[in-house]
Amino acid sequence: MSEEVFHSPKKHGRIMVLLSGRGSNFMAIADAVSAGKIDAEIALVFSNKEAAPGLAAARDRGLQTLALSPKDYPDKVSYDQAIIREAESRNIDLICLAGYMKVLTTEFCSAYQNRILNIHPALLPSFPGLHVQQQAIDWGVRFSGCTVHFVSAEVDMGAIVLQAVVPVLQDDTADSLAERILVEEHKIYPEAVRLYFEGRLEVRGRRVFIL
C-alpha cells in the first residue's frame, strides 16, 4: 500500500488563529508575520470567548476578529461548521490553534486535514491533555518542553512538526516550568508556520520531514 504524502504549499498564506486566552503564541506568530519572517497574513483571529485577552490584542493590532459563543449552537458539530464557514469564506490556508481550549470535532479535523497546527506545552506523546506542566513535575521527568503538531481527531496526537526541550528543575512549580516552556513555544510556533508556507513540510504518515 502506498503511503499518502502531503506537502505544505509554498505560497503567501492566509492564516486563521483560534484562541481562548491571553494569546501570547498568537502574538509571537503575528510578530513574525509583521517582521516579514513568515510569508502569510493573519486573516482572522477567532475565539470561543468574547472576553479573551488575545482577541483584544488582535483588535489592537488592527486584525479582523470574531467571537462566536458555543452556547448559541445546538451542538459541537454545528458550532464547528460555523467556524469552517468563516474559514472557507476567507480562503484560509492554515488554522493555528493557540491556546484554543475546545476540542475540534472529527468533521473539522478532516475538513482541514494537514491544515491545522497546534502548540502543546509538553514533549508529546508524553503528557497530552491539560495541566501538563504539573504532570511533568509530578512524574519527576528531567526534561520537558513543547511540541508543534498537526491536529488530528485524536487530541494532541497528530504528526509532530517541531519540538523544543527545557530542563525541569528541582524547585520548579507548574508556573515556573510553564514560563520556561513558553519562551520556547514562542520560537518554534512561528518557525513551524514559516516552514509550512515555505513549502518545506512533508508529511508521511506520522512523520514530518523538513525539506
Binding mask 45-84 for ligand GRF (x = CB under 6 A): ---------x------------------------------
Q: Which of residues 164-183 bind ligand GRF (CB under 6 A)?
A: 182
120 in active site: yes
Residue 115 CB, shortest distance to ligand GRF, in Å, is 18
Catalytic residue among 7, 120, 131, 149: 120
Tell me the C-alpha distance between 156 and 149, whole Å.
8
User: Between 186 and 211, whose beta carbon lies closer to ligand GRF?
Assistant: 186
Binding mask 21-50 for ligand GRF (x = CB under 6 A): xxxxx-------------------------
Tell me the C-alpha distance between 185 and 172, whole Å.
18
Q: For residue 203, give the H/E element and its range.
A: strand 201-204
Residues contacting 148, CB < 8 A, separation 6+: 117, 118, 119, 120, 160, 161, 162, 163, 188, 189, 192
User: Between 24 and 134, whose beta carbon lies closer to ligand GRF?
Assistant: 24
For 37, counting Cβ atoms within 10 Å of its Cβ (0-12 exposed, 13-18 middle, 19+ buried), the class is middle
